[in-house]
Amino acid sequence: MINLGDVVLRALEPKDVEYLYDYRNDWDVIQHLAGFSAGYSRANLEDWIKRHSNRADEVLWTIADAATDQCIGHVGLYQIDSRVRKGQFAILIGDKALWGRGLGTRVTEAVVSWAFSQLNLHKVSLHVLTNNARAIRIYEALGFRSEGILRDEQFRDGQFLDLMLMAVFEHEWWGLHVSTAVLETSKESQQL
């Protein structure tokens, strides 16, 4: 579990299905997300949790409200290859009331830092639709850089959309985030 104060990142549980069903079938939520589509049944999502919970090449978390333990989204590292030390990041914040408050940025920072410090990854990549300018700005501010465009890669709302590949390397990440990591380590040491 990763504790971010007001939210925690914990293992996916069967009780999350009802929330994930709402989020992953809400066009407002998924229209700007690469790789997500609508049309999930509750049974599909129960199966998805079971399949992904036991994969050796993935680490997934529910993003949960710390006070209520209510699922507000999910985040994960996929296609982890420890041989070449890389993985792929993806996030979904389903509770629209929390959009624009920096939660996605904080969760991304925590998971990518965890990927580099705990999994010893060298590279974390992601896919983002090129029409999702807000997400691209956030990823760039966190240190991700474009590695190319896959043209007409996804079909949404009657049109083909391009997909941007972005990545950040371990040394780039810690060059931008070392002060945060040092502060957090210092706080943890003081609490012990």
State residue 183's pLDDT score. Answer: 41
Which whole number is the average pLDDT over 148-166?
A: 93
Summarised one tens digit per residue, pLDDT across range 98-151 is: 999 999 999 999 999 999 999 999 999 999 999 999 999 999 999 999 999 999
C-alpha distances in angstroms, 135 versus 12, 131, 144, 180?
24, 9, 11, 21
- Taking the C-alpha atoms of residue 110 and residue 78, their distance in angstroms, rounded to an integer, is 16
Domain span at 142: 2-191
State residue 181's pLDDT score. Answer: 46
One-letter amino acid at 178 equals: V
Q: Is 185 exposed, middle or buried (0-12, 13-18, 19+ CB in 10 A)?
A: exposed
- Taking the C-alpha atoms of residue 165 and residue 148, their distance in angstroms, rounded to an integer, is 5
- Taking the C-alpha atoms of residue 66 and residue 8, their distance in angstroms, rounded to an integer, is 6
- Under DSSP, the state recorded for 123 is E
In a 13 Å sphere around the CA of 161, the CA atoms on its Cβ side amount to 18
User: Residue 34: which CATH number?
Assistant: 3.40.630.30
- Structure pTM? 0.88
- Exposure letters 104-142 (e unless 16+ CB within 10 A, then b): beebbbbbbbbbbeebebebbbbbbbbebeebbebbeeb
Cβ proximity of 96 and 27 under 8 Å = no
The token duo for 134 is 């807000």
For strands 86-93 and 123-129, give the pairing: parallel
State residue 158's pLDDT score. Answer: 87
Number of domains in the chain: 1
Q: Which of 1, 20, 19, 18 is closest to 9 using CA atoms?
A: 1
